[in-house]
Amino acid sequence: MTTLYGIPNCDTVKKAQRWLQANGIEFSFHDFRKDGLEQQQLEQWAATLGWETLLNKRSTSWRQLDDEIKNNIDEQSAIREMLISPTLIKRPLLELNGQYQVGFKEANYASLF
């Protein structure tokens, strides 16, 4: 099963959804805010992808964090902050057969499918 994680108003998530639909790929959409996240899930993503890859340091949410948190961020605190504010997670996150892809690039999606 293919799952696309993100938030519905994110332009990059919308692009990924349109690409999947245009290519006839069935997927479920998991809204970080509405459907929630589990710490275990974030820990698994961090272990597979690396927490630095998962953490979106270009987001408004990151810029709004206290400098003390940003200057001392590590895997444990990053996971804690992403649980509190899922918009800190790079989007979209695609899960396909235990593999993960962060962000959307048409060529990367085409090579996965």
Whether residue 94 contacts residue 14, with contact meaning beta carbons closer than 8 Å, is answered with no
> Is 88 a known active-site residue?
no
Nearest C-alpha neighbor of 51 from the set 30, 80, 29:
80
Residue 109 CA to residue 92 CA, distance in Å, equals 12
Catalytic residue among 2, 7, 10, 15: 10
Residue 47 CA to residue 44 CA, distance in Å, equals 5
Report strand pairing: 28-31 vs 2-6: parallel
Catalytically active residues are: 10
